[in-house]
Amino acid sequence: MLIDLLDRLALRPPEIRDVQAHESLFRRGDPARHIFAVEQGHIKLTRYLNDGRAVLLHVAGAGQSFAEAALFSEVYHCHAVADVKARVAAYRKDDLLEAFRRDPAIALEYAARMSRQVQHLRTQLELRNIQSARERIFQYLLQEASPDSLQVDVPIAFKDISAALGLAHETFYRELAALERDGVISREDKKIRILKTGI
């Protein structure tokens, strides 16, 4: 993600922060002063509906950056919480913006990254337009799999994937089992292999 770009910039080293489990790094509405990258563990980005239900927006794993979009926003637009103990690097927004002004190539690269993210988000949105849980899961797997090996190594909990797909986790398990039973996929633990590219 952005993290390699961040480190290529000759700015002051990021502040390293340890976050305890369930501790929140920032909350929606907090003034946005930093962009983050996960060093250990993972960070969940969520929003809360007015009825108190949490909506999972994204899970940033080790090596990934998050809150990049906050670079041009005065405040954070979601909550960042660690559900396990995590370590993150905090880069100062000012520093980054300054670096962008110094070097147009870097600004351009950043723009390219955001573009890719836009496309990724569009793809996610596209997935949501698939009614059938089974088809939705299957398309997700197709998307995540490397095109040649047709294998997916799910990095996070199935439960979180369910949330990202907008499905109840029970439904996810069920349909995953059904797909396996029907010989469409095979899996051991968190490694899933796609056997048929059509459903």
Partner DNA sequence: CGAGTCGTTGAACGGAATCAATCGTCGTGG
Partner DNA sequence: CCACGACGATTGATTCCGTTCAACGACTCG
Query: CA 163, CA 48: separation in Å to the nearest integer?
Result: 14
Among 54, 177, 195, 199, binds DNA (CB under 7 A): 177
**Is 78 one of the binding residues for DNA (CB under 7 A)?**
no
Residues near 35 by beta carbon (within 8 Å), at least 6 away in sequence: 2, 6, 65, 66, 67, 68, 70, 71, 90, 91, 93, 96
4 touches which of DNA, a copy of itself, none (CB within 5 to 8 A by kind)? none
**Is 120 one of the binding residues for DNA (CB under 7 A)?**
no
Lay out the sheet containing 65-66: strands in order across: 15-19, 86-92, 34-40, 65-66
Q: How many CB atoms lie within 10 A of CB 158?
A: 13
User: Which residues 3-42 are close enough to bind a copy of itself by CB under 8 A?
Assistant: none
119 touches which of a copy of itself, DNA, none (CB within 5 to 8 A by kind)? a copy of itself
175 touches which of DNA, a copy of itself, none (CB within 5 to 8 A by kind)? DNA
In the bound complex, what is the minimum distance in angstroms from residue 61's beta carbon to DNA? Answer: 14
Among 6, 35, 176, 194, binds DNA (CB under 7 A): 176
Residue 106: HSE in the Cβ half-sphere, 13 Å Cα cutoff: 19
33 touches which of DNA, a copy of itself, none (CB within 5 to 8 A by kind)? none
Backbone angles phi, psi at 114, to 5 degrees: -65, -35
Tokens 């919480």 correspond to what residue?
A: 81
Nearer Cβ to DNA (33/173) = 173
**Is 68 one of the binding residues for a copy of itself (CB under 8 A)?**
yes
Cα separation of the two ends of the chain: 32
Q: Quickly list H helices, the chain.
A: 3-8, 93-102, 104-128, 133-144, 158-165, 169-181
Q: Which residues bind a copy of itself (CB under 8 A)?
A: 47, 49-51, 55-58, 68-69, 71-73, 77-78, 97, 100-101, 103-105, 107-108, 110-112, 114-119, 121-126, 128-130, 135, 139, 163, 166, 198
Residues binding DNA (CB under 7 A): 83, 85, 131-134, 157-159, 166-171, 173-177, 190
